[in-house]
Structures are given as C-alpha cells and as structure tokens.
C-alpha cells in the first residue's frame, strides 16, 4: 500500500498534550503494523528565549497549540484508530461523520517552511552595526546625541557608544533599538 498517495492531515488534540498524542499515535501505528500508511507525525515547535531569575533559558514552544500534523494515507480503519487514541479530539475540517479533509499543498509548504524557518531563526541573527561606526541615539536621556560605537556585546545585544557631552567623551551602554545609523 506504500505506492498510494499520502496527504497531510491535522489531528485536533487536547491542548498541552500534543507531544503525548504524537507519541501515542506513533506507538499505536507501530503496534498495529500500519507504518506503511503513515509517513510522519509532527508537532511544529518554535524556539523561544525566556528570562528567569536573570538568566536566559531556551525553550521550545508548540507553534500550533492543540494540533498535531500527520502525513498519511487515511484509508480503511486508520482514521477510526487515530480518533480512538487518548487525547485525540478528531480531525480538523471534517464534517460530522464525514471523511477527514487533507491540507492544501500551499498550507503544507507554508507550515513546513515556517517550521524550518523557526528552527534556524535564532542562529543567523546578524549584527546591524560595526565598531567605529557613527550612530545617532534615538531613545533615552541622550536622545539626539551622535556617538561612535566602541564595543559590541552580541550576547546582551548591546552597544557601547562613546558620546561627547559638554566636550567630554562619555561611554553609554545602549541596545540596538536605541540607536540608528547616520546615513
């Protein structure tokens, strides 16, 4: 049956139990020997940074709470088997008693593209400034002053800007959002 067309479907799950439902579906499919019908079961997540007690913590958060994506050929008893799994509410887009509705190709590409984009989003953040560049302070008590970037702290996303105040150079620690490039 592996030659038949597999499509993406959305399984509605109890909120907060998406990963459990994913595991239950995978285990049940394997137990019944129906792995030919199901290619992938996926819970899209995004990486987020939370600050707790002054420390940054990287966490993964479910991107579509209450939904599990499944790429499968839903024929025969498979839809009923998936619906009977603990934590599964049903399929998205189905009519009462009708067949599950597959996702459109553009929705799948957007979803998969979004998942891929989220996994690398944090890693390739570029610093918009360079040491020695002249910038204008646009926020805070020194709004309107021009200064030169002395240091860049990538971890904190802060800049050390040397500003002339009353004829003396004074270092300021500012975030990227508090300064603007002078064109």
Q: What is the mean pLDDT of the chain?
A: 83
pLDDT of residue 48: 78
Of residues 92 and 122, which shows the higher confidence score? 92
pLDDT tens per residue, range 122-134? 444 556 788 999 9
| Contact indicator for 14, 87 with CB cutoff of 8 Å | yes
Token code pair at residue 141: 């008590």
CB atoms inside a 10 Å sphere around CB 140: 12
| Contact indicator for 6, 72 with CB cutoff of 8 Å | yes
| Of 73, 79, 70, 76, the residue nearest 100 (C-alpha) | 79
Flag whether the pTM goes above 0.75. Answer: no
Distance CA 180, CA 142 (A): 13
> What CA–CA distances, in Å, run from 52 to 55, 70, 122?
5, 34, 19
Task: Domains for the chain: give ranges and CATH numbers.
Answer: 7-120 (3.30.70.940), 134-181 (2.30.30.30)
């Amino acid at each position: 049956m592996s030659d038949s067309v597999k499509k993406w479907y959305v399984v509605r799950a109890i909120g907060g139990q998406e990963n459990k439902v994913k595991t239950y579906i995978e285990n049940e499919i394997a137990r019944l020997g129906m792995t030919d019908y199901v290619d992938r079961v996926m819970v899209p997540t995004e990486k987020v940074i939370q600050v707790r007690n002054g420390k940054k913590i990287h966490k993964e958060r479910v991107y579509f709470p209450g939904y599990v994506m499944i790429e499968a050929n839903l024929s025969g008893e498979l839809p009923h088997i998936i619906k009977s799994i603990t934590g599964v509410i049903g399929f998205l887009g189905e009519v009462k008693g009708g067949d599950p509705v597959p996702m459109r190709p553009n929705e799948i590409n957007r979803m998969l593209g979004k998942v891929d984009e989220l996994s690398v989003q944090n890693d390739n953040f570029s610093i918009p400034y360079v040491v020695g560049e002249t910038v204008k302070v646009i926020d805070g008590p020194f709004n309107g002053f021009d200064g030169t970037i002395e240091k860049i702290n990538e971890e904190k996303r802060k800049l050390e800007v040397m500003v002339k105040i009353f004829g003396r150079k004074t270092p300021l620690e500012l975030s990227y959002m508090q300064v603007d490039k002078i064109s």
